[in-house]
A and B are shown apart, each in its own frame.
Chain A
Amino acid sequence: MSTSGEEQWLYAISSKRRIIEFNFREIARYKDLLFLFVKRDVVTKYKQTILGPLWYFIQPLFTTLIFTLIFNNIADISTGDGVPPFLFNLAGITSWNYFKECLTGTSDTFKQNQNIFGKVYFPRVIMPMSVVISNLIKFGIQLLVFIGFYIYFTMFTEKASNVSPQITLLILPVLIIIMGTLGLGFGMIISSMTTKYRDLTFLVAFGVQLLMYASAVMYPLELVKSKVAEGRIPEMTGLLIEYNPMTTVVEMFRNVTLGIGGINIQMLIYVMITSTVIFLLGLIIFNKTEKSFIDTI
C-alpha cells in the first residue's frame, strides 16, 4: 500500500480545518448511504398508519381549503380574473411546502442524529442532503395533486379561463433547486447554531409560520405593491416582502404554472445569488460545527 514516501497518508485527523470542506469524492463514496437514508425516510414516515401515503395529499389539500375559505371567501383577497382561488393557493402552498419541509427537516440535523453522529463517522452533510432529496419525492407527489386539480379546473370548469402554463415552465427545475438550496442553507445554519444554544429551535417553529405570511403564499405580490402605493402598508414592510427570496420563488412558481404575475429576470438572478450565498454560508458553519458538536450538544 504505502510503497513510496514516508508521508503518504490516507487522511489526517486534526483540529485544523479548511473553511469549506466539501469532499465530493467522499460523498460519492457514501452515495449508497444517501439513498438508503432517503429510502428510510420515505418508507418509514407513514408506517403503521391507515391512510399511509395519502397523508401526502391530505395536508396540502386541507391547508388550501382553509386558506381559500379565510383569505378569499372571508377576507376577499382577489386572485385575479379567471384564476380560481383554490388553484392559486394550492400553487403557493405546494411551492412553499417544499422549502418549509427542507428547512424544518434539516434544522435539527445535529440534535436529531446525535446518537448516530456520536458513534460513527460519515460525511455529516449526507444527513441534510437526504432530507432534501426525500422531500423532493414528497414535493413530486404534491405536484401531481396540483396537476390533477389544474386539469380539473381548466378542462371541466369555466372558472379557470385565464389559466395557462407558460413556456417559462422550463425554468421550474431552477425554481426547485432554489427552494432546496435555500431550505438546506437555512436549515444547516440553524442546526449548527442549535448544537450549543438551543434558543433557535423555538424560533424555527413559529418563525417559519411567520415567514410564510411574508412570502406571498396566499396573496399576489401585486396586491402588496398596490397597498403600499395606497399607503395602507408601510413601505418597509412592502420591501421586506418583495425582497424575501421565497416571495420571488412562490410568485414565479405561480407565473410559470398559472400564467399570473410577472416574471422578473433581475429578481430571479437576485434570488439565485442569495440562495447560493446562504447555502455556502450554511455549509461553512455546518463544517465548522460537525467536527466537535458532539461535545457541546
Chain B
Amino acid sequence: MSDVILKVKNISKQYRLGLVSSGTVSHDLKRWWYKLRGKDDPFLKIGEINNSSTKGSSSYVWALRDINFELHRGEVLGIIGKNGAGKSTLLKILSRVTSPTTGEIKTRGKIASLLEVGTGFHPEMTGLENIYLNGAILGMTKKEIASKIDEIIEFSGCQRYINTPVKRYSSGMRVRLAFAVAAHLEPDILVVDEVLAVGDAEFQKKAVGKMKDISKGDGRTVLFVSHNMAAVKSLCTRGLVLENGEITYEGRPSDAVAYYLNGNSESLNHYNFGDSKKNERLKLHGITIFAKGKRKETNLDEYDELTIETKITIYPTENNLHLTYVLKDETGLSLFTITNANSDVPLEVGDCYLRCYLPEGFLNIGTYFLDIYIIENSKNTIFHQPDIMSFSIQEGERPLGAWLGKEPGFIKPDFNWTKARF
C-alpha cells in the first residue's frame, strides 16, 4: 500500500457574484461584526450550487463544495469536468494561489504547479535570465537551475536565441522555453493544467513524453486537468469527475471518462423524433448511431465500428425510394455522402430499421452533423432535413507514449498495402 501524500478534506470555496462595489462594504462590515462576537461568517450559510447557466437568487455561489480525496505517492490523478465545474479553482487552491473558504489540505510533499507556463517572464530580459527568474518563481534555487541549465536550454530548442531578450521571441518559442523550465522542476506533486493545449505537434509529443517520464519513471505524483480524453485515459491511473463543484465520480480513468461523456446529454447519439418528422409519404421515427460491441448509451470513440440505424415507415407507393445521408463537419462543410441507392438493400413499403455499417476506425475524432434526404426514382426529393442529428467521436485509449492529439482529416480509412522488392 503506497502512502498518502496529499489529503484533501472538506474543501469548499465560495465566490461572490457581481461587482465589487459599495455594497460589499456593508457585507464586509457585517462579516467583521459577526467575527468580533465570535460567530461564524453569516454568508457561509447561504450560497447555491454553481451552475452558471441557470439563474439563481443568491449572489453567493459555491465553486467547490466538500471536496474530499486522497492522493497516493506515484499516482497520476486526472480531473475532468465541464467548463466551470471547479477544476481550476481546485488547482488554484492546491497551488496556494487562493485559499479555501472551508476545509483543509495536508501534504507531505512540495507542490508545484504548471497552471500557466511562462509566469513572470520579463520581456526585456534574455532567455537565459528568464530561465533563472522563472525557475526561482516556481520554487527552484539558483543552484538547482544552474545544474540543469544545459538540459533546459536543450529541451526548449532555443539555443540560438538564449541571449536575446524574450520580447523578440515568437510566441511558440516563449511557450517552449517556459515549459522547458517547468518540466525540470522536481516537486513531489506536480499540478498540471492543460499544458497539452500549447505548442505544435512535435512539442506536444515532447511534453507528453516528459509528463510520462515524470509520472512513470521518477514515481512523481501528478494531478492532471485536461479536456483531452485521450491524455487522461493514457496518462492517468485514476480519474475524478467534477460537476458543479462536487465530485460525482471517482474511479478508473476510462470509466471516469465514460461517465463524464455520458453525462453530457449533447453527446447522446440517439434521436427519437416521435411524430415530428413525417409527411404523407413516410414517417421517420428515429436515428441511432452506435458502436459494435458496446451498449447503445455509451459514447463513440475513434476505433469503433459504427452503425447508423434509421427507423422509418414508408407509406404505400409505386416508386423506388432510397435514403441518402450527407455527413458534415462542425463548420457545415460536406464531407461525403452515404446512400443505399446502389446497394441491394432498397427502402421498401412498411416499417423497417435500415442499417448502414461504417468500417472499424473509419471516422476521426470530432463532431459531425447529418443531413437526410429521401429520394424518389433517383430524382425527386420527397423528404429533406438538414442537420437532423449530430454526434461526436471521442478519443480512444492510445498506447502510452503515442501522440495524443488529433490527426488532420475526417476519415481514417484502412487501405491495403503491399510491398515488393525491386
Contact = CB atoms under 8 A, between A and B. Distances in A.
Interface of A: 1-2, 8-15, 17, 29-30, 32-33, 36-37, 40, 43-44, 47-48, 115-122, 196-197, 291-292, 294-296
B99 A116 contact: no
A62 to B, nearest CB: 26
B92 A1 contact: no
B136 A32 contact: yes
Contacts of A9: 7, 106-108
Given A11-B107, A40-B129, 12 more contacts: A1-B108, A1-B109, A9-B106, A10-B110, A12-B105, A14-B99, A15-B99, A30-B139, A33-B137, A36-B133, A121-B97, A294-B92
Contacts of B7: 9
Interface string B338-362: 0000000000000000000000000
Interface of B: 3, 7, 15, 20, 24-25, 28, 92-110, 112-113, 115-116, 119-120, 122, 124-125, 129, 132-133, 136-139, 141-142
A15 B97 contact: no
A14 B100 contact: yes
B110 A40 contact: no
A13 B137 contact: no
A115 B3 CA distance: 35
Contacts of A196: 20, 24, 28
A294 B97 contact: yes
Contacts of B94: 13
A36 B141 CA distance: 11
A196 to B, nearest CB: 6
Contacts of A291: 98-99
Nearest to A31: B141
B119 A115 contact: yes
| B28, B99, B139, most chain A CB atoms within 10 A | B99
B20 A296 contact: yes
A295 B98 contact: yes
A40 B132 CA distance: 11
B137 A10 contact: no
A76 B82 CA distance: 72
Nearest to B9: A14
B102 A120 contact: no
B1 to A, nearest CB: 13
A13 B113 contact: no
A116 B119 contact: yes
